[in-house]
A and B are shown apart, each in its own frame.
Chain A
């Protein structure tokens, strides 16, 4: 930068390295902040779910009513309606796990004192997408056999010279595009959302501390935007969890669809 401005006063916009927050050690197996959040969220969900489902009443109380609301959304609105009432049951645990885990991790992006979205580190959405990937591939091969599964990639009734092209395209879609897009969508949304929040927070802070005269007042709209986007992030958190299991259901449903 220019020599006149000292390093302390220069505004550094948030960028990718801000997400790398090793707590213990360094390198490929360092224990990072997002790992801790993930583990805490997992433990929290496990404890809450085990306790909440220990005594379920036929006539629900308030807490059970809320739990049932979330479970009903995953089980009926997504699982049953998309996969179909005949086959959805074995996939309910997977969908419910994905939904609660993603939702709570996403909400961690705005809940103090954590305020770090786990899914903005691509390893975690990749882990979840790999789970879905394995499930729908295994289900597809188990249902039709490997040959049937591969054959089913190509819709029937195509001219013979199109078949190889479509086959390759569909195979790439199945094996690469789907898990990658599933991962990138969740990662990208949480990453970008957090960068935006960081920008407003850090920018507002910088303006307030380093700004001259009336420029300090510009920090007010910056902080307002921070709160606005924090609220917006709640919506995004829910939406991304919903979209993730929606697409997972669509991929699983295709296994049971008789026509392509």
Chain B
């Protein structure tokens, strides 16, 4: 190094005199010392950047990207969750509405049924009352008929006795006659539809 230095110095001095070669050299001729220092400085700084500075910066950038992406992911997850619960609530609400409608329908149907049952019961009751009324009417009619039969018999016999002017001595015979007469009357009114024959008989008898 010293030898080259000296040689260059000597060469420069020989060429240009007192100023030295490097003072008067064209500025585009690189000075070897400066070139070497430049290369070494550049190399050291490059290695330092390559090994430490840039990897650190890249790690930080990657972390930041991850953090941002993580944040976005979290937000998306939360949104999805919110949407899911909203859907769930909506479904539940719809279900509840459905149920309410069902209950209402059921109640209405039940009410209808109860109404119908009550109506049927009332009809039955009324039918029963009517039937009982008819029965009672029939009973009192037959009772009246029976009563009338006795009275009419007595009246007829009494009248006949009075008309004939004689008292029928034989009680049994008299009873038989009356009954026969009444049966005849009954047979006439029941057997033949026209009561005219009866009346003619009655008229005939009168």
Residue numbers in B under 8 Å from A19 (CB-CB): 27
Q: Is the CB of A28 within 8 A of B22?
A: yes
Are A28 and B33 also in contact (CB < 8 A) when A38-B38, A68-B57, A93-B54 are?
A: yes
* Complex CA distance for A3 and B45, rounded to whole angstroms: 54
Quick check: is A191 within 8 A (CB to CB) of the other chain? yes
Are A123 and B32 also in contact (CB < 8 A) when A28-B8, A29-B4 are?
A: yes
* Complex CA distance for A133 and B186, rounded to whole angstroms: 153
Number of interface residues of B (CB under 8 A): 47
Q: Is the CB of A131 within 8 A of B46?
A: yes
- Interface residue tally on A, bucketed by range: 35 or more
Quick check: is B35 within 8 A (CB to CB) of the other chain? yes
* Complex CA distance for A17 and B31, rounded to whole angstroms: 13
Quick check: is A58 within 8 A (CB to CB) of the other chain? yes
CB proximity to B under 8 Å, residues A31-66: 31-32, 34-35, 38-39, 41-42, 45-46, 49-50, 53-54, 56-58
Q: Is the CB of B45 within 8 A of A45?
A: yes
Q: Is the CB of A97 within 8 A of B20?
A: no
Q: Is the CB of A28 within 8 A of B23?
A: no
Residue numbers in B under 8 Å from A123 (CB-CB): 30-35, 37-38
Quick check: is A208 within 8 A (CB to CB) of the other chain? no
Residue numbers in A under 8 Å from B32 (CB-CB): 28-29, 123
Q: Is the CB of B22 within 8 A of A20?
A: yes
* Complex CA distance for A158 and B145, rounded to whole angstroms: 146
* Complex CA distance for A58 and B59, rounded to whole angstroms: 10
How far, in Å, is A124 (CB) from chain B's closest CB? Answer: 4
Which residue from chain B places its CB closest to the CB of A42 in the assembled complex?
B41
Quick check: is A22 within 8 A (CB to CB) of the other chain? yes
* Complex CA distance for A22 and B8, rounded to whole angstroms: 14
Residue numbers in A under 8 Å from B57 (CB-CB): 53, 56, 67-68, 71
Which residue from chain A places its CB closest to the CB of B63 in the assembled complex?
A58
CB proximity to B under 8 Å, residues A176-214: 184, 187, 191
Quick check: is B141 within 8 A (CB to CB) of the other chain? no
Which residue from chain A places its CB closest to the CB of B57 in the assembled complex?
A71
Residue numbers in A under 8 Å from B27 (CB-CB): 16, 19, 120-122, 187, 191
Question: Binary interface profile of B, 1-21, with partner A (CB < 8 Å = 1, else 0)?
Answer: 100111011001000000111
Dominant secondary structure at the A interface: helix
Interface centre among B46, B53, B58, B60 (most CB of A within 10 A): B53
Which of B9, B37, B48, B64 lies in contact with A27, CB distance below 8 A? B9
Quick check: is A92 within 8 A (CB to CB) of the other chain? yes
Quick check: is A241 within 8 A (CB to CB) of the other chain? no
Q: Is the CB of A46 within 8 A of B20?
A: no
Q: Is the CB of A38 within 8 A of B28?
A: no
Q: Is the CB of B22 within 8 A of A27?
A: yes
Residue numbers in A under 8 Å from B1 (CB-CB): 29
18 contacts between A and B (CB under 8 A): A16-B26, A20-B25, A27-B5, A27-B21, A28-B4, A32-B33, A35-B33, A46-B48, A57-B60, A58-B64, A97-B45, A97-B49, A101-B42, A121-B31, A130-B39, A131-B39, A131-B42, A184-B28
List residues of A whose CB falls within 8 A of some B CB: 16-17, 19-20, 22, 25-32, 34-35, 38-39, 41-42, 45-46, 49-50, 53-54, 56-58, 67-68, 71, 92-94, 96-97, 100-101, 120-128, 130-131, 184, 187, 191
For the complex with contacts A39-B41, A49-B49, A127-B41, 13 further pairs of A-B residues with Cβ separation under 8 Å are A17-B24, A28-B32, A32-B31, A38-B34, A42-B44, A50-B48, A97-B46, A122-B29, A124-B35, A130-B39, A131-B39, A184-B28, A187-B27
